[in-house]
C-alpha cells in the first residue's frame, strides 16, 4: 500500500491492487497444477496480472532462497526463472548503487562532521579562526601588540590566546604521537559512533581511525547504554572521570 494511502487509512485503492480473496483463488489454482494463464482465468484476472503476481511472489521468495529453489517451488522453467531474476536484479541495482553511494559519502563526511561537532557554534568557529590568524602573524615575527591591533583585538585578548597555548607558538605539523595518543579523543569517539551506526565492522572502523581493533571493541563494549546504544559524549566524560580518579589515587 502506498504511504499516502496508509496515512489516510485507505485500502484497495491502487489500480493494480488485487483483492486478497481473488489472489488466494489464483494461487490455489496455480498450486493445483494450472498454468499462470489458467490460474488467472479461473480467478477472473488478466494474463498480465497473473504474471505480475508471479513476479511479486518470486521477489519475496528470493529474499531468503536461491533462484533454483524458488523455481522448483513455483514450478518455473529455467528460462522463466532466469528472466524473473534478471528483471529483479535490474530493479534492485539502482537502489543498491544509491545505497552504496550514500554510504561512501557518509564515510567521507564522518571526519569532517566530527571536527565540526567539536566547534558547533558560530562563535566557537570564529574564535578558532581568530586564533589561527593570530598565530600566523606571530610566526611572521609580529609582537602581541601589533598582531592584536591588526586583528582589532585588545592586548588582553592576545595574552589569553598565548596563555591557552602555554606561551608557545603551536606547531603547524603535529607529531604522530599527538595524532594518535594512548587514549581515544572525543573526535575519534564521534567517528566511532557514526561509523558503527553505518554498519562498519570493528576492523573497518579501526583501519579508518588508525587504531587497534581491540581498542574499538573495548570502547564499544564498555560504553554501551542499557538499550545497546553507544553515546560518544557520555563515553568521553566517563573516561575522563575515571582517569582523574586514577591520578588522584596514585598521588
pLDDT in tens, 228-245: 888 888 888 888 888 888
At 108, the pLDDT band (50, 70, 90 cuts) reads low
| 224: DSSP letter | B
At 129, the pLDDT band (50, 70, 90 cuts) reads confident
pLDDT in tens, 161-213: 988 888 888 766 544 444 456 789 888 998 898 888 888 899 989 888 888 99
pLDDT in tens, 75-106: 788 888 888 888 888 877 776 666 666 666 76
At 124, the pLDDT band (50, 70, 90 cuts) reads low
Question: Alpha-carbon dihedral of residues 160, 131, 120, 198, nearest 10 degrees?
Answer: -120
**What rounded mean pLDDT belongs to the chain?**
79
- Residue 121 above 70 pLDDT? no
Q: Which residues are 230's β-sheet partners?
A: 224
- Residue 111 above 70 pLDDT? no
pTM of this prediction? 0.37
Helix (H) or strand (E) holding 187: helix 186-197
Angle ∠(170,172,175) on CA atoms, nearest 5: 90
Region 141-150 average pLDDT: 88
Reduce the DSSP state of residue 76 to 3 states and report it.
Answer: coil
What pLDDT is recorded for position 1? 42
- Please state the separation of Cα 103 from the chain's center in Å: 6
Reduce the DSSP state of residue 161 to 3 states and report it.
Answer: helix
At 215, the pLDDT band (50, 70, 90 cuts) reads very high
Amino acid at each position: 500500500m502506498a504511504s499516502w494511502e496508509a496515512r489516510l487509512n485507505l485500502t484497495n485503492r491502487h489500480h493494480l491492487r488485487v483483492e486478497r480473496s481473488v489472489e488466494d483463488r489464483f494461487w490455489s489454482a496455480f498450486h493445483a497444477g494450472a498454468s499462470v494463464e489458467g490460474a488467472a482465468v479461473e480467478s477472473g484476472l488478466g494474463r498480465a496480472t497473473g504474471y505480475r503476481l508471479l513476479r511479486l511472489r518470486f521477489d519475496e521468495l528470493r529474499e531468503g532462497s536461491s533462484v533454483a529453489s524458488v523455481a522448483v517451488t513455483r514450478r518455473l522453467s529455467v528460462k522463466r526463472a532466469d528472466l524473473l531474476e534478471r528483471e529483479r536484479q535490474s530493479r534492485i541495482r539502482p537502489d543498491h548503487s544509491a545505497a552504496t553511494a550514500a554510504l561512501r559519502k557518509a564515510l567521507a563526511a564522518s571526519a569532517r562532521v566530527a571536527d565540526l561537532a567539536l566547534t558547533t557554534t558560530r562563535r566557537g568557529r570564529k574564535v578558532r579562526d581568530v586564533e589561527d590568524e593570530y598565530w600566523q602573524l606571530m610566526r611572521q615575527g609580529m609582537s602581541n601588540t601589533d598582531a592584536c591591533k591588526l586583528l582589532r583585538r585588545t592586548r588582553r585578548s592576545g595574552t589569553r590566546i598565548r596563555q591557552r597555548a602555554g606561551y608557545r607558538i603551536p606547531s603547524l605539523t603535529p607529531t604522530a604521537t599527538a595524532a594518535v595518543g594512548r587514549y581515544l579523543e572525543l573526535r575519534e569517539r564521534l567517528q566511532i559512533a557514526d561509523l558503527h551506526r553505518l554498519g562498519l565492522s570493528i576492523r573497518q572502523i579501526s583501519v579508518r581511525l588508525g587504531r587497534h581493533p581491540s581498542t574499538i571493541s573495548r570502547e564499544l563494549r564498555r560504553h554501551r547504554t542499557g538499550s545497546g546504544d553507544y553515546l560518544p559524549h557520555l563515553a568521553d566524560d566517563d573516561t575522563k572521570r575515571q582517569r582523574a580518579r586514577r591520578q588522584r589515587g596514585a598521588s
